Structure 1
Amino acid sequence: MSYLSHDERRSELLHAAVRVLERDGLAAVTSRAVATEAGASPGLVHHRFASTSELAAEAWLAYVERERTAYELETPTPGRAALDAFFAPFADGDLAGLARWADAWRHAQSDERFAGAFAESYRALERSLAARLPGAGDRTAAASRLLLIAFGIAGAQRIDPGLLSEPGALMAGAIDRELATS
């Protein structure tokens, strides 16, 4: 392993944590898993991050920021197409992506450090989505309603993928209702 500065090594470990999160889920973000992913020792992970909770929270924030930034670059104009792109995992049946959000929601309820990171990521998503909602109404409230519906659908899909017969249609209906009231 080559020499990297403290910040470079921390960044490398954080990127490894994001890869573990995407591939195996939030619960898999452990110092051992991240160390293996980065080709480092678990002690090095502990040296750069105060706790596994801090590591998971920072990995979550990095993951959401990357996804949110990509969305904003791809959908600069408000409208239905931007909303459809935001909620594409429902239409595409992306159960892994939905499970990530459901797991993060659940994890935030039991881990105070992660709860702060989740709240921060939620507010960032809310701002991104509100900026792409057309109309003059309370776009932040509309964005929040859509996000909460999405989290509910994601949670139901996580519990049982067959629980909701058409999660994409449910989300599309929620988008239709918000657009009709704006």
Structure 2
Amino acid sequence: MAYLAKEERRKAIILATLEVVKEKGFAGITTRAVAKQLGAATGILHHHFKSLTDLKCEALRYLSQKNGDNCISIAKDLTPTQALLRLISFNATSEEKAETSIWISAADEATRDPELARVYAEETNKSHQWLCSNLREGVKTGEYTLTLPVELAAWKLMSLAFNLYDVSNLPETELTPDMAVQILKEELKSTLGLDSKDLASQLLSSH
């Protein structure tokens, strides 16, 4: 592996780890697999990360920061409704689908790894905070009429969108993406007071 500064090398290791997770899930991460993806000896991982769990946690933090930066970037140019629909869209790119699979894998691994569970909760809380900000802004601009307190509405939407995406992408599920989108649209009408006109955007399309 070519010479890199310390922070650049740490980032390279984290990116290699995330590539391994896309293929094998968090449960399938080994120092050997990450080193192979990186094109380096396993010793370099031990030099930069105190344990495999530490590496998993840092990889999840990195992905969360990337997602958070994306939320901020999107919110700059769109209305609260447009930003929300974009971020819970089923019309995801291949990269976004891969990143969603990483979060699903992290949730599964968190049931076995207390330290990863703590980091997973911390990063999920950050997503919740962003969504709360979006909902408050939408209420302020008159786009949303909430039927629940902001914090509860945010958790409800996050949980529903995440689980619908998860189940609708299972190999033999009877829940199709179109059905999942329809369920989510009905929830957005109920919880946020959005109407069919608001939801006509292709941002929420499953195609």
- 2:17 and 2:34 in contact (8 A); partners too: yes
Alignment of 1:143 with 2:154, yes or no, is yes
Matches within 5 A, 1:46-125: 46-76=46-76, 77-88=78-89, 90-92=90-92, 96-125=98-127
How far apart are residue 112 of structure 1 and its match? 0.7
Q: Match for 1:171 among 178, 184, 189?
A: 184
1:62-111 Cα deviation digits (max 9, x unpaired): 112112211220123553211111101x3459754443332222211211
How far apart are residue 35 of structure 1 and its match? 1.1
Q: TM-score, normalised by structure 1?
A: 0.82
The 3-state SS of whatever aligns with 2:193 is helix
How far apart are residue 160 of structure 1 and its match? 4.6
1:142 alignment partner AA:
A
Q: Provide the rounded CA distance (Å) in 1 between the counterparts of 2:139 and 2:168.
A: 31
Q: Provide the rounded CA distance (Å) in 2 between the counterparts of 1:28 and 1:157.
A: 23
Matches within 5 A, 1:33-52: 33-52=33-52
Q: Provide the rounded CA distance (Å) in 2 between the counterparts of 1:70 and 1:108.
A: 24
Matches within 5 A, 1:16-35: 16-22=16-22, 24-35=24-35
Q: Provide the rounded CA distance (Å) in 2 between the counterparts of 1:99 and 1:106.
A: 11
Flag the structure with larger Rg: 2
User: Quick one: structure 1 residues 143 and 80, their matched pair in 2 at CA, closer, same or farther if it must change by over 3 Å?
Assistant: same
The 3-state SS of whatever aligns with 1:135 is helix
Using the aligned pairs only, state the percent identity: 25
How far apart are residue 144 of structure 1 and its match? 1.1
Point out the more displaced range, 171-180 or 53-62: 171-180
Point out the more displaced range, 169-178 or 140-149: 169-178
The 3-state SS of whatever aligns with 1:178 is helix
Point out the more displaced range, 66-75 or 29-38: 29-38
Paired residue total: 180
User: Quick one: structure 1 residues 161 and 179, their matched pair in 2 at CA, closer, same or farther if it must change by over 3 Å?
Assistant: farther
Q: TM-score, normalised by structure 2?
A: 0.73
- 1:91 and 1:167 in contact (8 A); partners too: no
2:87 alignment partner AA:
F
Higher helix share: 1
